[in-house]
Amino acid sequence: MRRLLLLAPLLLFTAGCGVLQSSAGEATDVAREAARKAGERLHSQRPRTAEEVGRSASGIDGVEVLRITGTATHDGDGVDVVLRTSGSAYNGLFDIEEVVVRRCFSLRVSPKAEWGQDPRDVDCPDNPPLTFPPPPAPPRLPYEELRAKLPRVPKGGRVDEAEVRRTLAALDMDPAIRTEVKADGDRVGVLLSVEGNGFDPQDCLLARVRPGATEVWSPSRIQRMPGEGGCSVGNALDPLPPPH
């Protein structure tokens, strides 16, 4: 009878609030939420290879990448990633100390995948976490060479766009460096840029040749962020004001 009396409050609480979840179940929910947030960070419309996806996922705190299938996000069904995350919880009704679990989940990285998709529970592969080589370093932009080779036009003179283009061609730059030249009145603007990843500041150099002045510079970090317009030939012709 004494035992039933002790259990009565717990039974009433369980009946009123639904079935109580164990600490292990709560910890698994925490691990699943970590995987879901990882999926949100991996979600993008930008085409990426499976290696790029894996590298990005392995750089998220608390995430281990155990398996990658597929070749690229925009090929077929995209890239499937098996992640291992951890979660912890403590429920004094069931346990005397905090419970920590490590669970594996599968996410699909594709432009067709929904934002905030629920990760699928999967068995953890036996292999150790995958490692990925660092991305290749972007080509160096030839700041000193560009500054030294661009023509200097005296005041009252005329800027020759063709000469500027010949100067750029003679620099023998890495093919990954994109060049753009635009003339506007008595000025010629130059853009040298390397393709960015859509998230971090883009690498670029700007130059402007006009009578009495030849300038070469790199825009501020804020202006080189995606969508800020700093890495454009328009910014070379008419520089944006410095950020405040």
Distance from C-alpha of 218 to C-alpha of 85, rounded to nearest angstrom: 40
Distance CA 86, CA 31 (A): 5
Q: In what order do the strands lie in the sheet with 204-210?
A: 177-184, 187-194, 204-210, 213-217
- Mean pLDDT over 30-43 rounds to 94
Mean pLDDT over residues 96-117, rounded? 90
pLDDT, tens only, 52-62: 999 999 999 99
* Percent of the chain residues past pLDDT 70, beyond the cut: 89
Q: Is the pLDDT of residue 12 over 80?
A: no
Evaluate if pTM is beyond 0.75.
no
Residue ranges of domains in the chain: 22-122, 143-237
Lowest-confidence range among 124-133, 161-170, 189-198, 213-222? 189-198
3-state secondary structure labels for all residues of 9-72: HHHHHHHHHCCCCCHHHHHHHHHHHHHHHHHHHHCCCCCCEHHHHHHHHHCCCCCEEEEEECCE
Alpha-carbon span 81 to 92, nearest angstrom = 35
Q: What is the C-alpha separation between 53 and 43, in angstroms, rounded? A: 10
Which pLDDT band holds residue 103 (cuts at 50, 70, 90)?
A: very high
Measured distance CA(179)–CA(113) in Å, rounded: 35
Residues 81/106, Cβ–Cβ less than 8 Å: yes
pLDDT for residue 11 is more than 70: no
Torsion sign over Cα 197, 202, 203, 209: positive
**Residue type, position 50, single letter:** A
